[in-house]
Chain A
């Protein structure tokens, strides 16, 4: 399975699902980026032989508490256990964007969430995500 880019644009989020009415994450809101139970069904992800979850997020508001976390589940999504938490600052030091690639090959189910900080996103919440099945190794960035 080749990597598939999953662009998520603010305008694609139904307003009914956006608590603040503009499609942007609000204060302390948790946004699910990817959930394998929702996508493939419970315990079905291993059939797709996925190795990496890759994401890049450019929020418009750099609030304390902005982070990305990853969780795994062995019971089809009833219990989730955290195994990944993003660094608070990007390697390039701008402290506003989040980019990483996370190995998920050993898990039955995973979900990734963006934990919005204390301030609502003001103008944009730009997300790019990919699932990678071809490469066992890191991309070597």
Chain B
């Protein structure tokens, strides 16, 4: 018998406890300049902020749980959040790193209903311009790919790419997808979608350590100046210090799940 949804909390996963996570339900002060998405381990300098009300993402609900909805750049000014500039944050580790989150490209783009994603969209960014580069996971509508860019020294970049063309929504499906990146230093990086390995890799990341740069963190948006080209939506997101066990990865996926599916543990 496995733990049920209500009896699990991400804090019980050691790698997430030693890392960072954000749950959309922990969003406070929507519509105020004090808007925050609280970091789950109560590291307040890692809270996500946006003082401009028009640029705040909105809260939506799927499967009885809350998610964040961002509008693209065509809807001026577009949504973005990040750790505030004055509190650039250091992750605190350089080894194996995990990123897991629920994500969806909307069926109807608020800017151009029915359009497939185009241009650049940032899914998770802990990064700055050189010499403070660390980790940036983006999507390109131009060539239908996901890209992870990392740096070992804060300056030089390495990038992996995976095909994304099968992840776009149609009018009839529910395109909420559980996306995971697993970086094993000295080995490489893998992208899983719904626990299935996405194999297409154009280039290869193989680094001995990840830069521990001082940089802003932005979830579902860029920590730099660029606003996402696409509307998109995101659920709970986990940035792990190490790689959780497969069972714990499934527990994370099932927790506050925006989609009516459950991964068997």
Interchain CB contact under 8 A, B12 and A92: no
Q: Are B42 and A97 closer than 8 Å at their CB atoms?
A: no
Contacts of B248 in A (CB 8 A): 141
Is A140 in contact with chain B by the CB < 8 A criterion? yes
Question: Does B225 belong to the interface (CB within 8 Å)?
Answer: no
- Contact: A128 with B241, CB < 8 Å? no
**Residue B92 interfacial (CB < 8 Å):** yes
Residues 163-206 of chain B, each 1 if its beta carbon lies under 8 Å from chain A, else 0: 00000000000000000000000000000000000000000000
Which positions 63-90 of chain A face chain B at CB distance < 8 Å?
90
Give, as a whole number of angstroms, the nearest-CB distance from B19 to chain A: 9
Q: Assuming A94-B93, A139-B247, is B14 touching A99 (CB within 8 A)?
A: yes
What separation, in Å, do the CA atoms of A56 and B15 have in the docked complex?
11
Say yes or no: A54 contacts B93, CB within 8 Å: no
* Bound-state Cα–Cα, A141 to B13, Å: 8
Q: Is A130 a contact of B7 with CB atoms below 8 Å?
A: yes
Assess whether A15 is interfacial by the CB under 8 Å rule: no
In chain B, positions 72-96 with a C-beta closer than 8 Å to chain A are: 92-93, 95
- The 0/1 profile, CB within 8 Å of B marked 1, for residues 90-115 of chain A is 11111011010100000000000000
Complex partner residue of A91 from B4, B14, B95, CB under 8 angstroms = B14
Majority SS of interface residues in chain A? loop
A65 to B97, CA, bound (A): 28
- Does B262 lie at the interface of the complex (its beta carbon under 8 Å from any beta carbon of A)? no
**Interface of chain B residues 236 through 265 with chain A (CB within 8 A):** 241-242, 245, 247-248, 265
B14 touching A2, Cβ below 8 Å? no
Contact present for A126 and B42 (CB under 8 Å) = yes
A-facing residues in B1-35 (Cβ within 8 Å): 1-4, 6-9, 11-15, 17-18
Which residues on A sit within 8 Å (CB–CB) of B51? Answer: none
Contact between chains at B12 and A130 (CB < 8 Å): yes
CB closest residue in chain A, given B245: A141
For the complex formed, measure the closest distance between the CB of A56 and the CB atoms of chain B, giving whole angstroms: 5
| A122 located at the interface, meaning its Cβ lies under 8 Å from any Cβ of chain B in the complex | no
User: Other CB < 8 Å A-B pairs besides A126-B42, A141-B248, 8 of them?
Assistant: A2-B6, A2-B7, A90-B17, A90-B18, A99-B11, A99-B13, A130-B7, A140-B265
Give 25 A-B contacts (CB < 8 Å), ordered by A residue. Answer: A2-B4, A2-B6, A56-B12, A58-B17, A90-B17, A92-B14, A92-B15, A92-B242, A94-B92, A94-B241, A97-B14, A97-B18, A99-B13, A99-B14, A124-B42, A126-B11, A130-B12, A132-B3, A135-B2, A139-B3, A139-B247, A140-B245, A140-B247, A141-B245, A141-B247
Nearest first, the 8 A-B pairs at minimum CB distance are: A3-B7, A128-B11, A92-B242, A94-B18, A99-B14, A56-B11, A126-B42, A97-B17
Q: Taking beta carbons and an 8 Å cutoff, which residues of B are in contact with A?
A: 1-4, 6-9, 11-15, 17-18, 41-43, 92-93, 95, 241-242, 245, 247-248, 265
